[in-house]
Amino acid sequence: MELRGERIVLRHLVEHDAPALLAFIEENRSFLEQWEPTRDDGFFTLESQLADIAEAAADDAAGRRQAFGLFLEGELVGRLALSNLVRGVFQNAYLGYSIGERWNGQGLATEAVGLAVGLAFEDLDLHRVQAAVMPRNTGSIRVLEKNGFREEGYAVGYLCINGVWEDHRIYARTAP
């Protein structure tokens, strides 16, 4: 699947993207570690990235997740996923995204989230998309707010990020 914006393209990663994915995570390792779970050195291998791409493809096929690479002029600049898709009375997905340091602050994550929300509500027929953000991640909060997300609460010790149980602000957007 591919979603095209004004500047970026979101598309499912495939096997031949693994070297670019590895280069992206290596280049942005120190920049992104403050926002992500602790990763062991095994994560930073081509084999691990191939396995991640295969797992994402299986999840996409099973309707559990929609995972994308963010591409700018053919270069991988970030990642985005609508994960833990729940149907039934919830019709919800959790949104997560990251953008590389060189492209941070250029509106690319805002554009990508807008494309993902369109997919969620129009194509996946979801009712709700939610995201959790550490309070100090003001850039990510701006991305969500620009895309019409509202703050719904504060979760103490919500996720273990970089080895610390971090509080998060919970944001959500519901279908029109």
Strand partners, 164: 161
Does residue 162 fall inside a structural domain?
no
Nearest to 110 by CA among 69, 145, 66: 145
57 Cβ neighbours under 8 A, 6+ residues apart? 12, 14
Per-residue pLDDT tens digits of the chain, which is 176 residues long: 899 999 999 999 999 999 999 999 999 999 999 999 999 999 999 999 999 999 999 999 999 999 999 999 999 999 999 999 999 999 999 999 999 999 999 999 999 999 999 999 999 999 999 999 999 999 999 999 999 999 999 999 999 999 999 999 999 999 98
With both helix axes pointing from N to C terminus, report the angle between 46-62 and 18-27 in degrees, rounded to the nearest 10: 110
Q: Is residue 166 part of a domain?
A: no
pLDDT at 176: 86
Q: Flag whether 80 is in a domain.
A: yes
Nearest to 92 by CA among 60, 125, 56, 114: 125
Q: Can you give the pLDDT at residue 14? A: 96
**CATH number of the domain to which 66 belongs:** 3.40.630.30
Residue with tokens 């081509």: 46
Total structural domains within the chain: 1
Domain of 27 in residue numbering reads as 2-131
Amino acid at 34: Q
Q: Where are the alpha helices (DSSP H) in the chain?
A: 18-27, 29-32, 46-62, 108-118, 138-146
End-to-end CA distance of the chain: 24
pLDDT in the model for residue 134: 97
152 lies in a domain?
A: no
Whole-angstrom CA distances from 24 to 50, 102, 127, 158 are 14, 11, 32, 27
Q: Is residue 11 part of a domain?
A: yes
* Residue 146 lies inside a defined structural domain of this protein: no
For residues 52 and 156, what is the distance between their CA atoms, to the nearest angstrom? 29
Q: Decide if 59 is inside a domain.
A: yes
- The answer to whether residue 50 is domain-embedded is yes
